[in-house]
C-alpha cells in the first residue's frame, strides 16, 4: 500500500517530464524553436506545480524549500524560453 501511495505522488514529475520530452521530440524532428519553447513550458509547469502542491503531493519535485524550488524552476524556464526566442535562425 505504501508503494501505491508513493507512485501516485510522482504524477507532477512525470507530467513535467512528458512535456519536456515532447519538446525534445519537436526540437529534434520538427522546428527547433517550438521545441525549445515547449521544453521551457515543461520547466515552467514543474515550477507551478511545485508552488501549488503540498510537499507530499509534489513528490520528487520537492528538493529543498518550496520558495527555492519554485524560484529556481521558474527562473530556469524563463532563461530557456528567452534564449529560445533571442537566438537567430
Write the pLDDT tens digit of every residue in 8-58: 678 888 889 999 999 999 999 998 999 999 999 999 999 998 988 887 877
> Quick one: which of 72, 8, 24, 26 has its CA closest to 46?
72
Question: Percentage of the chain with pLDDT > 70?
Answer: 91
What pLDDT does residue 44 have? 95
In the chain, domain spans: 2-86
- Using CA atoms, how far apart are residues 23 and 37, in angstroms rounded to an integer? 7
User: Can you give the pTM of this predicted structure?
Assistant: 0.84
Amino acid at each position: 500500500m505504501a508503494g501505491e501511495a508513493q507512485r501516485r505522488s510522482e504524477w507532477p514529475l512525470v507530467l513535467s517530464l512528458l512535456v519536456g520530452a515532447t519538446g525534445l521530440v519537436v526540437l529534434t524532428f520538427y522546428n527547433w524553436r517550438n521545441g525549445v519553447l515547449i521544453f521551457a513550458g515543461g520547466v515552467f509547469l514543474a515550477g507551478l506545480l511545485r508552488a501549488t502542491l503540498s510537499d507530499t503531493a509534489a513528490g520528487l519535485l520537492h528538493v529543498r524549500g518550496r520558495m527555492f524550488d519554485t524560484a529556481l524552476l521558474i527562473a530556469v524556464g524563463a532563461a530557456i524560453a528567452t534564449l529560445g526566442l533571442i537566438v537567430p535562425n
